[in-house]
């Protein structure tokens, strides 16, 4: 708990807020990137090097790019004509606030009694690799399958209409 | 190898200098001061190298086309980059009226910062690495993919169709070749058993006889290196993969609307990306800072690293001087239908190599598989229409 | 948040994650654009990841890597989700020429 | 095999690269300010005005007929006709240009002014180093700047200039012969009345 944490938390939350509030879709996507980067830095601060870099690689390198590609492919880079918020925005806001209230209450109530590890965990990338192909090899294979299926699925979903029309 | 203390000192001269400089500070400041000093050195050395490279590139390209190249400013035109730099600095900074000013401003900055970060994990000599991260390779790639977003920001914020087209091409191309780049590096990681770049160099710095154990001198390493080089060229948007800035159709691609200092930053970013990706290739396949022959180890390690990097840069320039630009569909087909399958195959071959154990058998088997598949795939690719005249699928 | 955060580092991370989750949820619920809804979902997934990593870091057995692995797999799954989700958005845009969720109110294309 | 052509191309460029250091004849570059290619006779860049004799103002062949001004496609010639007259090369009294300006920055070197000029007064120059740092009027040449002697014309386009001279000489001879014939006729006439009579024009 120090200045760095507060700074990173502020960056992340500001990025998230901007992503939700900004008018322009591309700005939203870029703000999301800020949030992703802030989260990656938070991971690094939590001594999770591998997860932090994987976060940057996957989210900034792939997901953010996917989002901006989609925005441009759906002509979302022009400003929307109507409002940016849905008609039921108030209900959504109340639900979100309620969820946050419950979560915060739960965190603050329950976290007190938990014993906490403060020493930096001595986990190397080597350990992560061993765990991935050892204990977690089945999930790894399934994720591989899922990613393949998702890639093919995404291609088919995005291509479908044109192919049929031909 | 017994080397004299003089050469050992020369090898470690930067470390010694750094420690001497830092020694003036109180002990508690020293680690931070070390890092600051190293960062400053990286920030000074590579732009300097960039300046030299620009003039050597122009001269080299000229020579390849039987021209002289720049030779006016200073002796042999060596001061050309200074003149260019002054020009870029004092030029008017034009931001298009309808551009998105904030994003337009942030794009070159974020690009250069991300590229500079890549140098942090490169071992540039024995004990000369800024941070020896356990997941160094992953860090490098995570930084190099962040440049894609900067390119997109630049192209989109300019509100210019050429910029946008260039940026979309650049992003599509970089994503496609990023996969190849990563997968070709993974074969090295499989053999070295580490993502830390200094460990990978250390694994290559032994010798059998006088020959080094560089990974390029293995069948899978050679194949991986070729794929890596192709992907690196595409990743840095260099010719023949310079479609994003293909001036014959897109003016200048995503930096069409940039001028003055911001354009200089893009230019710097492009060359720094070249240096960093050459540095990574050197580290992964060419033994990093280790000497090419065992009796040459007395020459300081950093000289080897930088000469290997500059050699790679020369090959970049050589290719630029030789090859014509690809077409967008050829580029994508090449990435997904040739490079990616071949790199995946290379991974399998690497696994064979690892599990077949020492001996000549693995050399024969791996070489045979890789060569046969290369020839076969080459035949198939060249016979099919992928590299032939363009077919329009959707055009009326 | 600050007073509690000072005493237990875990609580700070969890609160940030909760806040980010709420922001993501709000984004998914209040915005009209389908892409923004997907962005909101990504933010929620990320908040969950932060929770997982924080629990891994401050939990009793970090060497077992459970939280870390969960986060890594979650990142991979989120990438797949984004690819499919955005592919769907493109497909819907092809059909209806809009990505505004309020206007996509017909079952038949 | 895939990649064969790339290697061939790389070998070619490598040959160029090293060859350009070994053999000088590979390099086609002329290092311009120090080295120059001598201009060929047929070179044509911008127009100039020809004058005969030593005094440029008196010797200008131009008679301010303004045909070139009217024919010039980009309209870069500006001529003011003089009020008075002066004798031309054959001695006939003609107007002369009080102002003759060519805007070199507009001129497109089409040579139409040269082709339409009935007096062989405007010709094409081979001078191409006309850059100036004066944006305002630096490239608007007046008649003094445009005037070049006939000798200069001979030095840059010798063949064409001698043809022109021959033609002018012929015309002049014709005019002189006519004048002489007129003079003789006048003399014969005068001889009938008053014996001695001076010749008009004369002079060679």
Residue with the bigger pLDDT between B4 and B289: it is B289
pLDDT of residue D141: 87
Distance from B303 to chain A by nearest Cα, in Å?
A: 30
pLDDT of residue B43: 86
Calculate mean pLDDT across residues B217-237.
89
Q: Which chains have at least 3 CB atom pairs separated by less than 8 Å from chain C?
A: A
Taking CB atoms and an 8 Å cutoff, what residues of chain B touch D9?
322-323
Q: How far apart are CA D79 and CA D141, in angstroms?
A: 12
Share of chain D above pLDDT 70, in %: 94
pLDDT of residue C5: 41
Tens digit of each residue's pLDDT (9 = 90 or more) over A129-158: 888 888 889 988 999 999 899 888 888 877
Contact present, B180 and B335 (Cβ < 8 Å)? yes
pLDDT of residue B1: 47
Map out the domains of chain C as residue ranges: 2-96
Average pLDDT, chain C: 81
Taking CB atoms and an 8 Å cutoff, what residues of chain B touch A124?
134
pLDDT of residue B228: 92
Chain B residue with Cα closest to D32: B72
Tens digit of each residue's pLDDT (9 = 90 or more) over B95-145: 888 888 888 888 899 999 999 888 888 888 887 788 888 888 889 998 888
Question: Residue C109 — pLDDT band, cuts 50, 70, 90?
Answer: low
Say which CATH class D47-156 falls into.
alpha beta
pLDDT of residue C4: 43
Of A73-87, B116-130, C80-94, D92-106, the one with minimum mean pLDDT is: A73-87
Question: Residue D198 — pLDDT band, cuts 50, 70, 90?
Answer: low
Per residue in C82-98, is it b (16+ CB within 10 Å) or e — as a string? bbbbbbbbbbbbbeeeb
How do D47-51 and D147-149 pair as beta strands? parallel
pLDDT of residue B326: 82
Question: Residue B343 — pLDDT band, cuts 50, 70, 90?
Answer: very high
A105 touching C (Cβ < 8 Å): no
Calculate mean pLDDT across residues B20-43.
82
pLDDT higher than threshold 60 for residue B385? no
Question: Residue B31 — pLDDT band, cuts 50, 70, 90?
Answer: confident
Distance from C41 to chain A by nearest Cα, in Å?
A: 11
Phi, psi of D79 (to 5 degrees): -125, 135
pLDDT of residue B259: 82
Taking CB atoms and an 8 Å cutoff, what residues of chain C touch A75?
93
Cross-strand pairs, D97:
D81
> N- to C-terminal Cα distance for chain D?
83
Q: How far apart are CA D64 and CA B79, in angstroms?
A: 53
ipTM higher than the 0.85 cut = no
Q: Where are the alpha helices (DSSP H) in chain A?
A: 3-21, 25-45, 49-55, 64-73, 89-110, 125-133, 137-165
Tens digit of each residue's pLDDT (9 = 90 or more) over C7-37: 567 788 888 899 899 999 888 888 878 888 8
pLDDT of residue C6: 45
Q: Determine whether domain C2-96 maps to CATH 1.10.287.3510.
A: yes
Calculate mean pLDDT across residues B17-34.
81
C66 touching A (Cβ < 8 Å): no
Share of chain B above pLDDT 90, in %: 6
Tens digit of each residue's pLDDT (9 = 90 or more) over B136-192: 888 999 888 888 888 888 888 888 888 888 888 888 888 889 889 999 999 898 888
pLDDT of residue A145: 92
Whether A60 sits inside 8 A of B193 (CB atoms) is no
Residue from the list D2, D20, D31 with its beta carbon closest to the beta carbon of B63:
D20
pLDDT higher than threshold 70 for residue D194? no
Q: How far apart are CA C49 and CA C57, in angstroms?
A: 12
Residue with tokens 């946050």: A100
Tens digit of each residue's pLDDT (9 = 90 or more) over A34-48: 999 999 998 888 888
Of B43-52, B93-102, C51-60, D185-194, the one with minimum mean pLDDT is: D185-194
Residues of chain A with pLDDT under 70: 1, 76-84, 113-117, 160-166
Q: Report the candidate in B319, B354, B268, B277 with the shortest Cα–Cα distance to residue B88.
A: B268
**Predicted structure pTM score:** 0.81
Share of chain B above pLDDT 70, in %: 95
State which of A150-164, B289-303, C41-55 shows the largest mean pLDDT.
Answer: C41-55
Q: How far apart are CA B245 and CA B166, in angstroms?
A: 6
Q: How many contacts, defined by CB atoms under 8 Å, are there between B and D? A: 48
Contact present, B275 and B309 (Cβ < 8 Å)? yes
Chain D residue with Cα closest to B71: D31
Chain D residue with Cα closest to B230: D3
Contact present, B371 and B345 (Cβ < 8 Å)? no
pLDDT higher than threshold 80 for residue D118? yes
User: Which residues, 6+ apart, have CB-to-CB distance to B286 below 8 Å?
Assistant: B214, B216, B225, B308
C31 dihedral zone (left: phi>0; alpha: psi -120 to 50; beta)? beta
Phi, psi of D100 (to 5 degrees): -140, 100
Calculate mean pLDDT across residues D32-54.
85
Q: How far apart are CA A51 and CA C21, in angstroms?
A: 19
Q: Which chains have at least 3 CB atom pairs separated by less than 8 Å from chain B?
A: A, D
Taking CB atoms and an 8 Å cutoff, what residues of chain B touch D14?
64, 318
Whether A153 sits inside 8 A of C10 (CB atoms) is no
How do D122-124 and B207-208 pair as beta strands? unpaired
Calculate mean pLDDT across residues D130-137.
82
């Amino acid at each position: 708990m120090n200045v760095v944490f507060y700074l990173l938390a502020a960056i992340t939350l500001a990025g998230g807020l901007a992503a939700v509030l900004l008018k322009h879709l591309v700005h939203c996507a870029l703000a999301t990137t800020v949030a992703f980067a802030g989260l990656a830095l938070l991971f690094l601060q939590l001594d999770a090097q591998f997860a932090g870099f994987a976060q940057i690689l996957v989210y900034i390198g792939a997901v953010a790019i996917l989002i901006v590609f989609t925005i441009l492919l759906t002509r979302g880079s022009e400003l929307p004509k109507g409002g940016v918020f849905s008609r039921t925005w108030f209900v959504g806001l109340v639900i979100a606030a309620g969820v946050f209230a419950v979560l915060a209450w739960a965190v603050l109530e329950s976290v007190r009694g938990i014993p906490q590890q403060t020493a930096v965990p001595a986990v190397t990338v080597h350990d992560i690799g061993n765990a991935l192909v050892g204990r977690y090899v089945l999930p790894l294979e399934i994720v591989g399958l899922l990613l393949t299926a998702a890639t093919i699925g995404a291609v088919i979903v995005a291509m479908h209409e044109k192919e049929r029309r031909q | 190898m017994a080397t004299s203390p003089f050469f050992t000192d020369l090898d470690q001269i930067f470390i010694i200098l750094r420690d001497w400089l830092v020694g003036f500070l109180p002990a508690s400041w020293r680690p931070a001061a070390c890092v600051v000093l190293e960062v400053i050195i990286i920030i000074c050395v590579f732009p300097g190298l960039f300046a030299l490279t620009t003039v050597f590139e122009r001269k080299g390209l000229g020579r390849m086309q039987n021209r002289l190249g720049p030779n006016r400013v200073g002796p042999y035109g060596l001061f050309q980059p200074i003149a260019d730099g002054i020009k870029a600095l004092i030029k008017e900074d034009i931001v298009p009226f309808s551009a998105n000013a904030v994003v337009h401003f942030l794009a070159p900055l974020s690009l250069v910062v991300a590229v500079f970060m890549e140098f942090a994990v490169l071992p540039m000599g024995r004990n000369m690495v800024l941070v020896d991260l356990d997941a160094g390779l992953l860090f490098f790639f995570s930084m190099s993919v962040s440049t894609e977003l900067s390119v997109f920001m630049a192209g989109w914020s300019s509100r210019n169709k050429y910029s946008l087209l260039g940026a979309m091409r650049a992003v599509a191309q970089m994503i496609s070749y990023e996969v190849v780049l990563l997968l070709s590096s993974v074969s090295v990681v499989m053999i070295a058993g580490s993502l830390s770049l200094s460990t990978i160099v250390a694994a290559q710095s032994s010798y059998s006889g006088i020959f080094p154990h560089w990974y390029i001198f293995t069948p899978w390493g050679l194949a991986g290196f070729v794929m890596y080089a192709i992907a690196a060229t595409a990743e840095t948007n260099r010719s023949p993969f310079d479609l994003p800035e293909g001036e014959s159709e897109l003016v200048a691609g995503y930096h069409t609307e940039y001028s003055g200092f911001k354009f200089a930053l893009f230019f710097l970013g492009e060359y720094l990306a070249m240096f960093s990706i050459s540095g990574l290739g050197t580290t992964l396949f060419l033994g990093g800072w280790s000497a090419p022959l065992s009796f040459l180890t007395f020459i300081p390690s950093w000289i080897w690293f930088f000469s290997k990097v500059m050699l790679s840069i020369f090959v970049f320039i050589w290719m630029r001087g030789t090859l014509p630009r690809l077409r967008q569909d050829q580029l994508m087909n090449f990435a997904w239908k040739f490079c990616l399958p071949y790199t995946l195959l290379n991974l399998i071959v690497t696994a064979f190599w690892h599990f077949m154990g020492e001996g000549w058998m693995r050399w024969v088997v791996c070489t045979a598989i890789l060569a046969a598949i290369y020839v076969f795939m080459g035949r198939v690719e060249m016979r099919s229409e992928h590299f032939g005249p363009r077919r329009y699928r959707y055009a009326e | 948040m600050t007073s509690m955060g000072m005493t237990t580092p875990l609580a700070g991370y969890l609160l940030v994650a909760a806040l980010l989750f709420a922001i993501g949820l709000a984004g998914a619920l209040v915005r009209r654009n389908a892409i923004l809804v997907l962005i909101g979902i990504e933010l929620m997934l990320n908040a969950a990841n932060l929770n997982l990593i924080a629990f891994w870091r401050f939990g009793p057995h970090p060497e077992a890597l459970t939280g870390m692995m969960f986060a890594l797999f979650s990142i991979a799954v989120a990438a797949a989700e984004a690819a499919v989700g955005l592919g769907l958005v493109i497909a819907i845009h092809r059909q209806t020429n809009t990505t505004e969720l309020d206007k996509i109110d017909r079952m038949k294309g | 095999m895939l990649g064969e052509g790339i290697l061939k191309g790389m070998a070619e460029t490598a040959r160029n690269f090293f060859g350009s250091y070994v053999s000088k004849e590979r390099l086609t570059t002329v290092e311009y300010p120090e080295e120059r290619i001598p201009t060929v006779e047929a070179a044509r860049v911008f127009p100039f005005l020809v004058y005969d004799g030593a005094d440029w103002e008196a010797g200008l062949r131009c008679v301010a007929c303004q045909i070139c001004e009217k024919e010039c496609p980009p309209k870069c010639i500006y001529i003011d006709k003089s009020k008075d007259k002066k004798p031309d090369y054959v001695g006939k009294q003609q107007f002369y240009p009080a102002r003759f300006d060519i805007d070199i920055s507009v001129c497109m070197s089409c040579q139409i002014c040269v082709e339409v000029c009935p007096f062989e007064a405007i010709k094409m120059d081979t001078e191409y180093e006309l850059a100036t740092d004066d944006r305002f009027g630096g490239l608007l040449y007046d008649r003094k700047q445009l005037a070049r002697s006939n000798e200069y014309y001979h030095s840059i386009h010798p063949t064409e200039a001698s043809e022109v001279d021959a033609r002018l000489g012929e015309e002049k001879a014709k005019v002189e012969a006519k004048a002489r014939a007129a003079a003789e006729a006048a003399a014969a006439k005068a001889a009938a009345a008053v014996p001695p009579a001076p010749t008009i024009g004369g002079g060679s």
